[in-house]
């Protein structure tokens, strides 16, 4: 998929600048060559230097987060920056995420936190706000599945289509759904996610952090399994 360059390079420290460069390189690699796993030894540089990892610290771990799945105290947190109009995001949602849910989320190892990162224009932003609004009524996961179903993005994300997706997701109060989608709180939540992504150098979707380790693109399941295993081992060592 084409990448969207960051327009808000908000770098607050040397460690965060290194993290942004690292994730930017990983995102570029994933966009340039989808056939090779995208990872970088530089991802562990803050940790190797003994400094706190600014990317790992982005995990919110909020129990009431409507755009998250898994225990707030899970040893591994996967943060996903995605766009509903991104074909590779849909591939991850259909082919890989369900396996991660079954294997790691259900046993308490993994938490997945979604970040809305629309880069493909107005319909991307509208879909992001709609997903957030569905989440207010505990239907984010169902909306996510409907929006990423095979062939869904080809139908677009106009107002009528978003209402159709909300119905498919079982959103109980459609009037509230439309109010929430158009409200200031939805815009603020979207802006928070976007600014976080820009700040750390996200340049394409999907992009991921696994306890701070960057992983970009619709990588095969094995790449996520390996990253989760590394993160779980490091978390166990820290907790000793």
* pLDDT in the model for residue 9: 36
pLDDT at 17 (0 to 100): 52
pLDDT reading at 115 higher than 50: yes
Give yes or no for residue 56 having a pLDDT over 70.
yes
Asked if pLDDT for residue 209 goes beyond 60, the answer is yes
User: pLDDT tens digits, residue range 119-172?
Assistant: 999 999 999 999 999 999 999 999 999 999 999 999 999 999 999 999 999 999
Of 239 and 196, the structure prediction assigns the larger pLDDT to 196
pLDDT of residue 78: 98
239 pLDDT band, cuts 50/70/90, is confident
Per-residue pLDDT reduced to its tens digit, 69-95:
999 999 999 999 999 999 999 999 999
Inform me whether the pLDDT recorded for 14 exceeds 80. Answer: no
What's this model's pTM, rounded to 2 decimal places?
0.82
What pLDDT does residue 96 have?
Answer: 97
Higher pLDDT, 23 or 195: 195
Is 140 within 8 Å of 67 (Cβ atoms)? yes
CA 121 vs CA 55, 124, 125: distances in Å: 26, 5, 7
């Amino acid at each position: 998929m084409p990448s969207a360059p960051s327009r808000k390079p908000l770098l607050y420290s040397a460690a965060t600048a290194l993290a942004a460069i690292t994730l930017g390189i990983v995102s570029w690699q994933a966009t340039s060559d989808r056939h090779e796993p995208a990872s970088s030894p530089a991802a562990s540089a803050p940790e190797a230097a003994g400094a706190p990892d600014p990317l790992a610290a982005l995990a919110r771990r909020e129990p009431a987060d409507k755009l998250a799945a898994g225990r707030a105290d899970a040893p591994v947190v996967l943060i996903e920056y995605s766009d509903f109009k991104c074909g590779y995001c849909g591939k991850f949602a259909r082919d890989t995420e369900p396996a991660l849910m079954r294997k790691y989320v259900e046993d308490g190892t993994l938490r997945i936190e979604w970040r809305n990162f629309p880069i493909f224009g107005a319909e991307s932003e509208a879909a992001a706000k709609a997903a957030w609004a569905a989440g207010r009524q505990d239907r984010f996961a169902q909306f996510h599945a409907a929006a990423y179903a095979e062939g869904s993005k080809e139908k677009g994300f106009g107002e009528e289509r978003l209402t159709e997706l909300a119905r498919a997701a079982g959103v109980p109060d459609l009037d509230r759904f439309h109010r929430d989608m158009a409200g200031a709180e939805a815009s603020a939540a979207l802006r928070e996610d976007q600014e976080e992504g820009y700040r750390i150098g996200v340049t394409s979707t999907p992009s991921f952090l696994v306890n701070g380790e960057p992983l970009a693109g619709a990588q095969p399941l094995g790449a996520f399994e390996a990253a989760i295993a590394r993160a779980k081992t490091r978390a166990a060592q820290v907790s000793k």
